[in-house]
Structure 1
Amino acid sequence: MDYKKLTDDLRAAHNAALVATDRIEDNGTANMDKVFLTLPRARETKVLEAIKEAGLYCRGKRRWIGEGYMLSVSKGQANQRDKAVTVFVDVMVNRGYDAIAYRQMD
């Protein structure tokens, strides 16, 4: 696992999400949407460092659909968060990662 590349890819996805949500009004249904990223055989401490270096937050490895990392990728709480998660997942998938959107209404 190339952790430097992971950091760069996370940063790129985060930047794309920020650009995509820059002018979106944050109205609509409040949600708890996050990105679920699986990285088999990766060292958790290194992954968490990469996530932090990319300017994102994750409490640690979680079990949802397998083991992975729930990432908060937006400061919004409604439409902005929804769009940010969608864009973030698209960028990560296009870069070869196994990432999906976790959707939850508040």
Structure 2
Amino acid sequence: MDYKKFTEDLKAAHKAAQEATEGMQDGGTANLDKLFIRLPRARETKVLEAIKEAGLYCRGKRRWIGDGYMVTVSGAQGYVREKSVTVFAAEMYERGYEIMPYRQMD
């Protein structure tokens, strides 16, 4: 796995999500939406370093529909968080990653 490319892809997706939600009102139902990304055979320490370097948060590898990483994309609570995850997921999918948005109302 190319960890440098992964970091750059995360940064680009994060930027797209931020641009898409700029100026949005953060109303609506509070949620815990995140992005789940599967990276088979990737080294967990390297993946976590890349996520942190991209300005995102992940506690570590988790088991949910297989092994992967639950990445926090936005610190918002409602519509902004929902939109951020949607845009971020689309960007990462287009870059060839195996992703799935995780949706949960608080």
TM-score higher than 0.5: yes
Shift of 1:56: 0.5
Residue 74 of structure 2 corresponds to: 74
Q: Which residue of 2 aligns with 1:94?
A: 94
Write out aligned runs for 1:1-106 (5 A).
1-106=1-106
TM-score by length of 1: 0.99
Give the deviation of 1:24 after TM superposition. Answer: 1.1
Deviation at 1:18, TM superposition (A): 0.4
What secondary structure does 1:36 align onto? strand
Question: What 5-or-longer segments of structure 2 have no aligned partner?
Answer: none
Percent identity of the aligned residues?
68
Residue deviations 1:5-31, cap 9 Å, x none?
Answer: 000000000000000111210000000
Structure 1 residue ranges, 4+ long, deviating more than 2 angstroms after superposition: none
Deviation at 1:64, TM superposition (A): 0.5
Aligned mates of 2:55, 2:69 — CA distance in 1? 15
The SS at the match of 1:11 is helix
Which amino acid counterpart does residue 49 of structure 1 have in structure 2?
A: E
Normalised to the residue count of structure 2, the TM-score between the two structures is 0.99
In structure 2, distance between residues paired with 1:10 and 1:41: 18
Aligned-partner residue type, residue 7 of structure 2? T
